[in-house]
Amino acid sequence: MKKKNIIGKIKFIVLLLIALTQLFPLYWLITFSLKSNTEIFGENVIGLPKVWRWDNYITALSSSNLIRYFLNSVFYSVVTVVVAGIISSMAAYAIARMTWKLKNAVYGLFMIGIMIPAQAALLPLFQILDKLGLKGGYLGLIIPYIAGALPMSIMILVGFYRGIPREMEEAAYIDGCGIFKCFIQIIFPMVKPAIATASIFTFLGTWNELMLANTFVDSDQYRTLPVGIMSLAGQYSTEWGLIGAGMVIATLPTIIIYFFLSKQVQESLVVGAVKG
C-alpha cells in the first residue's frame, strides 16, 4: 500500500509539473498584456505587473477596429465550421460506408490536400479568386477556409465511420429507413465526438489563420482578428502591451470553445484508443 501511495504521489507531482508548464504561457501572456514596454523589456519579465495597466485593453478595443475584426473572425470561423462539418460528415460517410468505383481515388485526393502546404497554393488561389472577382470579400476567405478544413475533417470522420458495425445500418434498412434517414437518425449521433474533434481543429485553424487573411483581404471591413492584432504594431515604436491585450482577446474564444467541447473530444480519444 505504501508503495502504491508513493507511486501515486509521484504521478501527481509529474502531472502537476506538466500542467504548470502548459499553463505558464497563458499566465505570461496575461501579465504581458498588463505591462508597459519598460516592464516587458526590463527586469520584470515574467513577474506580476508593478502597475496593472488595464487601459491596454480599453485602448486596444477603442483605438482600433479590433471589435470589427473580432466579429469578422467569429463569422469566418462559424461559417467554416458549419459548412465544412456538413460537407465532411456526408463525404466521409460516402467514402467509408458506401460502395462506388472512385471512392478510394476521391479519398486519396482529400488526403493529398493534407500534404500540400498552404504556401504552395497561395499564388494560384490569389489568381483564381482575383479572376472570379472574389478577392477582397467574405467569400474570398470562406471558400479557401472550407476547402482547407475538409481533408483533416474527412480523415478523422472516415476512421470513426469504419468502426461502426454495419449491422446497425442493415437493421435500419430492413425497418424501412432510407439512406438519408439512416445517416441522420442513426449514424450521425454516433459520431458526434468525432465531429466535435474535427470542429475544434477547424475552428482553431480558421480563427488563428493569418497568411491567407493578410494576402486576400485589403479592407478593414473584411479583415480578421490576427491581421488586426498585427496592425497594432507601429511603424517606429510599438506598445507591446496593446498587442498582448489583443492576443488575450483572441485567445479567449478558443478556451471557451474547448471548455464546452472538451467532453466530446475526450470521448473521441477514448473511442479511438479502444478501436485501435
Per the structure, how many domains does the chain have? 2
118 in the same domain as 229: yes
User: What's the pLDDT score for residue 274?
Assistant: 42
Q: What pLDDT score does 237 carry?
A: 66
Indicate if 136 and 237 belong to the same structural domain. Answer: yes
- Cell numbers of 250, please? 483572441
At 115-137, the pLDDT tens digits run 888 888 889 999 999 898 888 88
Q: Are residues 28 and 163 in the same domain?
A: no
Domain CATH for 135: 1.10.3720.10
Q: Are residues 90 and 217 in the same domain?
A: yes
78 assigned to some structural domain: yes
Same structural domain for residues 41 and 166? Answer: no
pLDDT at 83: 96
Categorize the per-residue pLDDT at 141 as very low, low, confident or very high, splitting at 50, 70 and 90: very high
Report yes or no on 59 lying in a domain.
no
Alpha helices in the chain (DSSP H): 2-33, 37-40, 55-62, 66-97, 103-115, 118-132, 138-162, 166-174, 179-182, 188-190, 192-207, 211-216, 225-230, 240-275
Domain check: are 49 and 71 in the same one? Answer: no
Give pLDDT tens digits for 36-76: 888 888 777 788 888 888 888 888 888 778 888 999 999 99
Whether residues 21 and 136 share a domain: the answer is no
Q: Are residues 95 and 164 in the same domain?
A: yes
Quick one: 79 and 30 in the same domain? no
Whether residue 144 has pLDDT greater than 80: yes
Owning domain of residue 154 = 65-275
Q: What is the mean pLDDT of the chain?
A: 85
